Copies of this chain bind each other. A is one copy, B any other.
């Protein structure tokens, strides 16, 4: 084979917003595969807020990406060579093969996906990690129940858009927070949330009074910062605050802002609990099954925002932090 493999490698640990010089764009031969390995031609890479955390040094739920390594990312693609009896050439798989056009992995590190059930890019979105994050975060950590008011930030994003839809499926009220009128219209009109509040609007703090007049039972937080405090100010007794992310704080060069209103946890006997989707790895099957069923039944609507060209990776990643995505942000890395 004379194929070449374009890749993005981490060149430096970013301070604040990642700069072009934090990346190295490399080209190398497609790798040889060993016994039990599978070679995958990646079609799409998943761009996720969590990637910003993986670029930092220090103790976290997974090790940081090493300087010089291909940037970690979820991927979906087609098997083009296999030394494993479990996965055949021509099958489609998802995995964590990183920002590159070809990747290899042991068969057991890959998950087969069914292109007949859904377009393969959905296995990086609503039928993949973001969907599972919404699923376990809302149902297990948030313990949502019928009649609850669920507030979710990042409501037009990959995770938030699914949180609200699952809330509705479970008989709860869903109130979203998103940036801009267009995203809010999408959240209400297309996804069926009961309301959506535009945090960029001057009347934001006024606007949330009516939809939250009976308080918040579950707040699913993707953003942190001031919005977390606004939510904490309106919690009900025994409320659950689900800490899924804090995208407003990831590029800070000053210390993270802590929630001043945390003392409301005491006043209302409420709890704040964090998680990452990897905590639920043994239960992914259960989650995918429910998500796929709701998708087939038309109860779960999925939208992907597909950007094209591996060479655009550094700028496309920043769309997440500028709020320039609606639905799941993906990078198409396969060349037509």
Contacts and interface: CB of A to CB of B under 8 A. Distances in A.
A218 to B, nearest CB: 14
A256 B267 contact: no
Contacts of A184: none
Contacts of A264: 274
A60 B267 contact: yes
Chain A interface size range: 20 to 34
Contact of A265 (B257, B263, B273): B273
B276 A263 contact: no
Contacts of A229: 258
A229 B259 CA distance: 12
Interface in A248-269: 249, 255-269
B271 A245 contact: no
Contact of A259 (B60, B258, B266, B269): B258
B279 A275 contact: no
A270 interface: yes
Contacts of A61: 266-268
B260 A260 contact: no
Contacts of A275: 266, 269
A112 B61 CA distance: 52
Nearest to A58: B267
11 contacts: A59-B267, A257-B258, A259-B259, A262-B262, A262-B272, A265-B273, A265-B274, A267-B276, A269-B274, A269-B275, A271-B274
